[in-house]
């Protein structure tokens, strides 16, 4: 089937994203979020540049790159600012849960702007997933900053939905590698400028703190190579073929993976409501695609 490989790519990319919330939390314990994003996307950009140098990939610089610049400002710049702030104000369980609202928003926007029709059954089961997401979210521990963090994360949901639509639309003119490479270039430049403005001469010290321990090194390499290069390439590749309703349905799995990772490796609380919400998410993902 022509959609089998793109579907597997979307599935794999979102599973990788599920662990990224935990590794982001680990890195944020030693440095600021703009420094983390700067280092993350510089490493990702350099890794993809190496692929170009050794001709393992290609980039056509003769194309109109203005569209890709706007694409990169939206994702990762705006999205990751909102998501990282959300992690800082909540935790990896809550973050992974709220981000899972992206499929419904993407489905509706795709129908409105890309004229991609979806079946009412898909919307119904996407809402089942949303119910699971909300159940997981409201069952978290209370904190004074939780409301602000949730509001910021819903801003990330809207941004992520628009990114999905743009990736689908730009796939007609740019390859998955070109879209991913442009994203990382814009992200590396913008986040490094912001980090330098905020930290000044202290930026190298802040960046070095990430690599002061093996845990920090592993977490950053995961974020840069797996969660950035690998996962984003997979999602952009899936957008070439899959309708938005299908490609984004797998995004809900990241909340399940995030909940598992946070509970097992960070000892974050998981109760009965979390488990029920997890089951609802998995049911919604399965039947949305079926």
- Sign of the Cα pseudo-torsion (58, 62, 64, 68, in order): positive
Residue 13's SS3 state is: helix
CB 245 within 8 A of CB 170: no
pLDDT: is 106 or 180 the higher one? 180
The phi and psi torsions of 78 (rounded to 5 degrees) equal: -65, -45
Query: What is this structure's pTM?
Result: 0.86
Q: What is the pLDDT of residue 140?
A: 56
CB 28 within 8 A of CB 91: no
- How many other C-beta atoms lie within 10 A of the C-beta of residue 90? 27
- Tell me the pLDDT tens digit for each residue of 164-202: 999 999 999 999 999 999 999 999 999 999 999 999 999
Q: What is the pLDDT of residue 221?
A: 97
| Mean predicted lDDT score pLDDT of the chain | 87
Residue 137 pLDDT grade (very low, low, confident, very high; cuts 50, 70, 90): low
Q: Distance between CA 102 and CA 98 in Å, rounded?
A: 8
- Tell me the pLDDT tens digit for each residue of 238-268: 999 898 888 888 887 877 888 788 888 877 7
Q: What is the pLDDT of residue 286?
A: 82
Single out the residue of 111, 134, 165, 177 nearest to residue 274, CA to CA.
134
Based on C-alpha coordinates, what's the Rg of the chain?
18
Mean pLDDT in residue range 84-112: 77
For residue 272, the number of C-alpha atoms closer than 13 Å in the C-beta half-sphere is: 0
Q: Which two tokens stand for residue 42?
A: 């510089």
Q: From residue 175, how far is each of 55, 88, 198, 226 by CA, in Å?
A: 15, 34, 35, 19
Residue 278 pLDDT grade (very low, low, confident, very high; cuts 50, 70, 90): confident
pLDDT at 144 over 50: no
Mean pLDDT in residue range 212-226: 96
Q: Which of 65-74, 162-171, 230-239, 240-249 is the least confident region? A: 240-249
Q: What is the pLDDT of residue 97?
A: 67
Q: Which of 95-104, 124-133, 152-161, 265-274 is the least confident region? A: 95-104
């Amino acid at each position: 089937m022509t959609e089998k490989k793109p579907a597997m790519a979307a599935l794999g990319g979102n599973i990788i994203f599920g662990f990224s919330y935990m590794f982001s939390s680990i890195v944020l314990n030693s440095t600021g979020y703009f420094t983390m994003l700067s280092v993350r996307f510089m490493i990702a950009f350099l890794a993809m540049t190496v692929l170009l140098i050794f001709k393992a990939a290609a980039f056509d610089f003769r194309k109109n790159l203005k569209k890709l610049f706007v694409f990169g400002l939206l994702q990762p710049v705006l999205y990751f600012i909102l998501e990282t702030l959300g992690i800082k104000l909540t935790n990896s369980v809550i973050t992974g849960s709220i981000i899972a609202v992206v499929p419904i928003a993407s489905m509706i926007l795709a129908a409105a702007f890309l004229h991609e029709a979806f079946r009412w059954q898909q919307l119904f089961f996407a809402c089942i997933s949303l119910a699971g997401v909300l159940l997981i979210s409201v069952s978290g521990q209370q904190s004074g900053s939780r409301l602000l963090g949730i509001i910021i994360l819903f801003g990330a949901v809207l941004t992520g939905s628009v990114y999905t639509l743009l990736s689908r639309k730009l796939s007609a003119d740019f390859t998955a590698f070109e879209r991913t490479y442009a994203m990382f270039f814009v992200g590396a430049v913008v986040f490094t400028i912001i980090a330098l403005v905020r930290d000044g001469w202290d930026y190298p010290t802040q960046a070095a703190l990430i690599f002061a321990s093996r845990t920090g090194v592993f977490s950053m390499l995961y974020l840069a190579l797996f969660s950035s290069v690998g996962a984003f390439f997979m999602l952009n590749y899936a957008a070439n073929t899959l309708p938005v309703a299908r490609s984004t349905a797998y995004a809900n799995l990241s909340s399940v993976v995030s909940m598992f990772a946070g509970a097992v490796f960070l000892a974050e609380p998981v109760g009965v409501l979390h488990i029920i919400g997890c089951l609802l998410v998995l049911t919604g993902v399965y039947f949305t695609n079926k």
